[in-house]
Structure 1
Amino acid sequence: MGIIHFLNVNEGDCIWIEHPSEHNTIIDISNGQEVTNIFESASSSGNHNQKNYPVNPIEYLKDRNVSTIFRFVLTHPDMDHMDGIKDLFETFEVLNFWDTENTKVMDDNMSWGRYDKADWDFYQEIRTSLSSPKVLNLYAGQKGKYYNQTEDGKSGADGLYLLAPTTDLVAEANKSKDYNDCSYVILYRTGNNKKIIFAGDSAEKTWNYILENHEEDVKDVDILIAPHHGRKTGGNDEYLDVLNPKLTLFGNAKSEYLDYSSWNNRGLDHITNNQANCIIINTNGESGMDVYVTYEVFAKKRNPDTFYDETYGGWYIMTI
């Protein structure tokens, strides 16, 4: 069980899991730079334009009195998943760092756009760290203390089960230079038997492997964090029919790239950061998981009986 924060961080990913063990897991970071953006006002129509109002995840964590990150998971080495990693590690004590054994290189003379080269350089430094944080290169099916085993070797602990990548997927990604194919995919099992999939930017090769080797684990999940922010390039042709998620969360991307039709054609419920801003899920409920969003206008449109809960800093919209 735990509380999941799916943060609105521009066109990128950042997820925070508050575990009952009091461990904090952060999966990816984006919009972590100390910048101030000024945008036009939000719309009250179907497009709520909340991607124009991203949060800085470092400030979000500081505001909630986080001091230590037990594990930081970098799903794969794309800049929209490590935008602010240097500031994150310098602001908080990070104990464990999950990293794929990718061989990606970046041209020092390239244009970095909205990203900071210092984040890439820092990433290269910490992934060879011999002290703190502890660097872990984990693969599908691995088990270990704290992430899915207790001190005495029993299943559970923080409930994180690795579905991908495999050594073969990483090797293929290093050869093809398509690093989405070596993305972590993590199944989070809650104490009340709910299943949540954190899909990173996983694409066809990854989901071909998962459906062939872990179909029972991913069948009929409760929540899916959509692969590749919900883009058409995420997943494969069959995965949604197997996962059949009760609710899917989309990140931010231009609408023409998002795969709305695959969800709509199957009658699958989905919410985007662009609609809801940040999305908070309390997995601890006896009757199900309570979902909150931080944008009031969307909450009232989604659920006219919504109410604000100070504990989660959001507006209640549904229970799964």
Structure 2
Amino acid sequence: MSILESGKKKSWVPTMIGAVLLLCGIAFHRVPFPIQIEDDLRDALNSINGDVKGVLQDDGSVPPITESAPVETAEDKSAVSGLKLHFVNVFQGDAIYIELPGGKTALIDAGPAPDPESEYKTPIVSSFLKKRGVAKIDHLVMTHPHADHYGGLKWVFEELQVDHFYDTRIDNSDADGDNLAREQAKKEPGCVVHYPAEGDQLDWAQGVKVKVLHSCPNRGRSADHRPDVGAFLNNCSIVLKLSYQGSSALLMADAQEEVEARLVQTYGRGLQSDVLKVGHHGSKYSTTEAFLKKVKPEAAFIEVGKYNDFGHPTPDVLARLKAAGAKIHRTDKEGTIEYAMKAPRPSAKLFFGSIFSAD
């Protein structure tokens, strides 16, 4: 039996309704990290009474709330056409799925390939994308040719439609997975391959500014940079800054301190961003104090695997982020994390800074 049932009164119903209204009131205040939890709130209420259909109207009746009718004001549809970043938990690797205005999508890296000895035959990112019913990626980015970033691309090209593929011209001489992804991109029907250069503006969606801050569009081979092959590949990462409705996100891929120094010199205060995707999984070679002074992030997201062999993220990086005033979020601790970019006007949907959706 439902707790909220028309014609019956329970002494604690007003208390619960008051709590819901209080939460709704909080939602209209500006919070640093707005995350949509409308469904989470409904699930929480359902767990209390088993069949919550709504809150009481003035006449005491219960208006229905259905999945097809989310709580939203008629005058503000911005949340429907907004921008969301999903920092997908692919363990030790990167994958950022982006929901863009107008129904467009982007995927920045796809995490590692499945372990041959594992019972799972598809990459971790596939579970996330299938769960969301994704059939097409409008913009697919391979930030640089390291396996923990490109490993899942084979599945993406095989199972999904890809319209645009963004790549560097850097070859990982010690691997062939990057070349496989490039061959798949060339064979993908209708797929346009891009080699973005620093300063390029990418046309992804109306109202969204995507600027390339760093890349390696010229041909190069990691074998020519021994013994620092790893650093060379990391520092050829495609670095993007996304801006939407006054909010911004700086996505550093695996770029290290050398790239950070160049960005500070080139862009200075122009690096300031609400969100920082921490470079190289929080390794000791990234996220310098000088860099953080320019970025001034409110939230820092670290994509990292639990119990990884690299010591990521390092205590020094965590300390620098904390000193910079950034709220730190980690996929190894929170799972997949969703971040909703700010809407131009307050939305009636419930957004909270301390609650993130984790798979």
User: Do both share a fold (TM > 0.5)?
Assistant: yes
Aligned-residue offset at 1:229: 1.4
1:18 aligned residue: 99
What secondary structure does 1:256 align onto? Answer: coil
What amino acid maps onto 2:132 in structure 1?
R
Aligned-residue offset at 1:124: 4.2
Match of 1:161 among 211, 223, 245: 211
**TM-score (ref. length: structure 2):** 0.64
Is the Cα contact below 8 Å between 1:32 and 1:88 reproduced in 2? no
Match of 2:357 among 286, 294, 304: 294
Q: Does 1:224 align with 2:241?
A: no
Aligned-residue offset at 1:209: 1.8
Q: Does 1:197 align with 2:250?
A: yes
Aligned-residue offset at 1:274: 1.6
1:282 aligned residue: 340
Is the Cα contact below 8 Å between 1:33 and 1:87 reproduced in 2? no
Distance 1:257 1:229, change over 3 A: closer
2:135 aligned residue: 67
Question: Structure 1 stretch 234-243 or stretch 89-98: which is displaced more?
Answer: 234-243
Is the Cα contact below 8 Å between 2:113 and 2:148 reproduced in 1? no
What secondary structure does 1:58 align onto? Answer: helix
What secondary structure does 1:257 align onto? Answer: coil
What amino acid maps onto 1:65 in structure 2?
G
What secondary structure does 1:161 align onto? Answer: strand
* Aligned-partner Cα distance in 1 for 2:221–2:269: 25
Cα deviation code 1:83-106 (max 9, x no counterpart): 221111111001110000113212
2:204 aligned residue: 147
* Aligned-partner Cα distance in 2 for 1:238–1:63: 40
Paired positions, count: 258
Aligned-residue Cα RMSD (Å) equals 2.8
* Aligned-partner Cα distance in 2 for 1:166–1:189: 22
What secondary structure does 1:60 align onto? Answer: helix
Name structure 1 gaps, 5 residues minimum.
38-54, 108-116, 151-155, 296-313, 315-320
Q: Does 1:272 align with 2:330?
A: yes
Distance 1:25 1:205, change over 3 A: same
Cα deviation code 1:254-293 (max 9, x no counterpart): 4833221211333432111122111101224435975542
Aligned-residue offset at 1:120: 4.1
What secondary structure does 1:97 align onto? Answer: strand
Which structure has the higher relative contact order (CA within 8 Å, separation 6+)? Answer: 2
- Superposed structure 1 runs of 4+ greater than 6 Å apart: none
1:103 aligned residue: 171
Q: Does 1:184 align with 2:246?
A: no
* Aligned-partner Cα distance in 2 for 1:122–1:166: 19
Aligned-residue offset at 1:4: 1.0
* Aligned-partner Cα distance in 1 for 2:188–2:91: 33
Is the Cα contact below 8 Å between 1:102 and 1:174 reproduced in 2? no
Name structure 2 gaps, 5 residues minimum.
1-81
* Aligned-partner Cα distance in 2 for 1:172–1:163: 21
Q: Does 1:133 align with 2:133?
A: no
> How do residues 305-316 of structure 1 correspond to structure 2 at under 5 angstroms?
none
Is the Cα contact below 8 Å between 1:4 and 1:282 reproduced in 2? yes
Cα deviation code 1:106-151 (max 9, x no counterpart): 26xxxxxxxxx6x44522423655964211000111135x237x6x
What secondary structure does 1:21 align onto? Answer: helix
Distance 1:184 1:62, change over 3 A: same
Is the Cα contact below 8 Å between 2:248 and 2:275 reproduced in 1? yes
**TM-score (ref. length: structure 1):** 0.72
What secondary structure does 2:103 align onto? Answer: coil
